[in-house]
Amino acid sequence: MAKWEYAPAPESTDIVDIKDTYGLFIDGRFVEPASGEYFKTINPGTEEVLAAIPVAGQEDIDRAVDAARTAFEKWSALPGSQRAKYIFRIARMVQERARELAVLESMNGGKPIKESRDVDVPLVAAHFFYYAGWADKLAYAFPGRRAEPIGVCAQIIPWNFPLLMLAWKIAPALAGGNTVVLKPAETTPLTALLFAEICEQAELPEGVVNIVTGAGATGQTLVRHPDVDKVAFTGSTEVGKEIQRAVAGTNKKLTLELGGKAANIIFDDAPLDQAVEGIVNGIFFNQGHVCCAGSRLLVQETIAERLIAKLKRRLGTLRLGDPLDKNTDIGAINSRDQLERIRSLVGIGVEEGAELYQPACEIPDRGFFYPPTVFTGVSQSHRIAQEEIFGPVLSVMTFRTPAEAVTKANNTPFGLSAGVWTEKGSRILWMADRLQAGVVWANTFNRFDPTSPFGGYKESGFGREGGRHGLEAYVRLAEVR
């Protein structure tokens, strides 16, 4: 098929200043880890080493939690308008340093610059602006109840939206009067450390935000720390279950945002060309490293052939390659481990008898890349229809009636999101009532807004982030007598 050729349009990396070695951000300053250990963080698009990152051990976590505890007294006692002042300041600084944040996010995580620049970073700023607005209105947020801060919050985030997940966690926590110790994922620590610089620049009081780096063991130490009052985790269902076991029997509040296997459901009256764009956005956005990705496509049987033909044609126009190129649609897979996991599940899909389609596309020699992939002839029991692949892989199934679509959509252990494409409003509402998903998008997919709550059912977790619901996760509510 004829295709427009684009000249390379790489975003310059001059704007970012990556240090050789980083410190832990504890009590308002960067410090060397007591553990003395470091690990290397790389650029998944080139495999080049970017920096040495400290591993926070028990002593470091103790220091960070102590700093957050000490800061809590003053921070929680500040008038809401004062806390708002700092959060607004952070929001503005995120906007001012947006390009730097976006470039670093793409360098360390592999996502296309047009996504980090146009989606992630603007949403990060929007979350801080939104929750800054709540900080002095807590008395009105929950009518009949008084909102009180919880205390020290341990926050653990994944690698797919490093800055955005940080914003979803830190912004409501600070607005609610809490202090935090946040651990970014081991493959994507750099933007969280740049965010720590923004906290310094914003003159946020010492100890209100602490950033500790490391892998699962660091997260485990943080979750188990006895002086933590709340644990907020976003990541895999497997680790979420482990964390739930670890906090059982303690007084720690817990929210879990876990995995998903969303159904994107296309009815025969849907506008097909728009639906194709929605399908592509649903599964290939951020290389499919999206918890709410529309990884199961349910198409009404009568239009399946036509829709799949259109989808395959569209796949041929997607541009895969350098995450920093402004024309890139599909960037790098976040890590070698994740690439292996995708390859292994795709291999299982082929063995199970599903039909694989990948458009002709050039894979760069260096870096971790995987082509956009569509499986047809998938049945409900296939592992590729049940397990989260967390990559650019779509499993297509068909249905005949709305009831069948609902049964098939709900037939997974997860329940994070779903999409419905139809021109009938009544059908959208009928479906939304029956779909077991925290978010149901209608005639769109992967839309986020700070005012709108996001979260799961079943094995996708509990608790909400975003909106007033997201604020509720960071306060204790007492009856007003």
Query: Considering only 33-41, 189-197, 216-224, 421-429, which stretch makes contact with ligand NAD by CB under 6 A?
Result: 216-224
Q: Which helix (H) or strand (E) holds 349?
A: helix 336-351
Q: Would you tell me the crossing angle of helices 237-247 and 216-224 to the nearest 10 degrees?
A: 30
Catalytic status, residue 291: yes
Please give the residues from 154 up to 193 whose contact with ligand NAD meets the rule CB under 6 A.
156-160, 183, 185-186
Please check whether residue 330 is in contact with residue 112, taking contact to mean a CB–CB distance below 8 angstroms.
Answer: yes
Whether 257 is a known active-site residue: answer: yes
Q: Which of residues 232-271 bind ligand NAD (CB under 6 A)?
A: 234-236, 239, 242-243, 257-260
Residue of 11, 105, 115, 257 marked active site: 257
User: Residue 313: which H helix or E strand, with range?
Assistant: helix 301-315
User: 3-state class of 211 per DSSP?
Assistant: strand
Query: Taking CB under 6 A as the criterion, which residues in 429-468 touch ligand NAD?
Result: 456, 460-461
Binding mask 284-313 for ligand NAD (x = CB under 6 A): -------x----------------------
Which is nearer to ligand NAD, 177 or 184 (by Cβ)? Answer: 184
**Cβ nearer to ligand NAD, comparing 42 with 239:** 239
Which pair of tokens denotes residue 446? 């992967």
Q: Which is nearer to ligand NAD, 205 or 216 (CB)?
A: 216
Give whichever of 222 and 303 is closer to ligand NAD, judged by the CB atom: 222
Q: Which of 223, 262, 389, 420 binds ligand NAD (CB under 6 A)?
A: 223
Q: Does residue 38 contact residue 201 with C-beta atoms inside 8 Å?
A: no
CA angle 24, 25, 26 (to 5 degrees): 105
Annotated catalytic residue within 199, 291, 292, 465: 291
Binding residue count for ligand NAD, defined by CB under 6 A: 30
Q: Distance between CA 275 and CA 268 in Å, rounded?
A: 11
Instruction: Give CA–CA dist 451/442, Å, rounded.
Output: 17
Helices (H) and strands (E) in the chain, counts: 17, 19
Comparing CA positions, the residue from 294, 300, 248, 304 lying closest to residue 392 is: 294
CB 318 within 8 A of CB 280: yes
Q: Find the shortest distance in angstroms from Cβ 111 to ligand NAD.
A: 13
Interface ranges with ligand NAD (CB under 6 A) = 156-160, 183, 185-186, 215-216, 219-220, 223, 234-236, 239, 242-243, 257-260, 291, 388, 390, 416, 456, 460-461
Q: What is the set of active-site residues?
A: 257, 291
